[in-house]
């Protein structure tokens, strides 16, 4: 009799465990659907590198002037949320700026709240050594707050091509 009772209690515990497992599986599926529709408001380091890689690949298919024009053209997708592919010449003049034609011809030295010459020097030095990251502080154009930012930069012909992300998001990315 005791064995029978013990077997019945065990069967009931197994049934409860199965029910709880099924509920947990349903919650996990719901959470997975919710997270899949979530999009970051800011770009990530990997996304910035991908945009620069796309720009570099495009240069191999186009003449230099077409290349800078196509990066700037808003319909070509060289901007995403707070990320913009840029191309600077050695003097710090923007020759291309993803999605913002009005920035072409302006200088990195004239960005408010940034030591533009130091930023240009860092971009040039890094790109001349090889593809890599440059870090700097900049005023966020939306919030006005000074934020740490980093730009992935490469040299393409005589231009320094890059794309930046705010480090607060980049720091959360897996290593």
How crowded is residue 116: how many other Cβ atoms within 10 Å of its Cβ?
A: 16
Give the per-residue pLDDT at 135.
94
What is the SS3 string spanning 50-117?
Answer: HHHHHHHHHHCCCCHHHHHHHHHCHHHCCEECCEEEEEECCCCEEEEECCCHHHCCCEHHHCCCCCHH
Per-residue pLDDT of the chain (175 residues; tens, 9 = 90+): 899 999 999 999 999 999 999 999 999 988 877 766 555 578 889 999 999 999 999 998 999 999 999 999 999 999 998 899 999 999 999 999 999 999 999 999 998 878 899 999 999 999 999 999 999 998 877 777 888 999 999 999 999 999 999 887 444 444 4
CA atoms within 13 A on the CB side of 39: 7
* Statement: the pTM of the whole predicted model exceeds 0.85: no
Neighbouring C-alpha atoms within 13 Å toward the C-beta of 139: 9
Q: Beta partners for 162?
A: 86, 153
Under 8 Å between Cβ of 162 and 155: no
What was the pLDDT predicted at 112?
A: 82
């Amino acid at each position: 009799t005791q064995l029978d009772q013990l077997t019945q209690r065990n069967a009931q515990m197994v049934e409860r465990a199965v029910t709880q497992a099924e509920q947990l599986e349903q919650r996990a599926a719901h959470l997975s659907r919710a997270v899949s529709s979530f999009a970051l408001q800011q770009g990530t380091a990997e996304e910035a590198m991908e945009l620069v890689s796309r720009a570099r690949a495009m240069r191999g298919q186009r003449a230099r002037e077409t290349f800078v024009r196509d990066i700037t053209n808003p319909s070509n997708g060289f901007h995403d949320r707070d990320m913009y592919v840029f191309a600077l010449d050695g003097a710090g003049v923007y020759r291309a700026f993803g999605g913002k034609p009005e920035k072409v011809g302006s200088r990195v030295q004239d960005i408010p709240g940034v030591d533009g010459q130091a930023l240009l020097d860092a971009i040039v030095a890094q790109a001349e050594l090889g593809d890599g990251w440059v870090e700097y502080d900049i005023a966020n154009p939306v919030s006005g707050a000074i934020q740490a930012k980093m730009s992935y930069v490469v040299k393409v012909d005589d231009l320094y091509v890059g794309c930046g992300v705010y480090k607060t998001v980049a720091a959360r990315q897996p290593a």
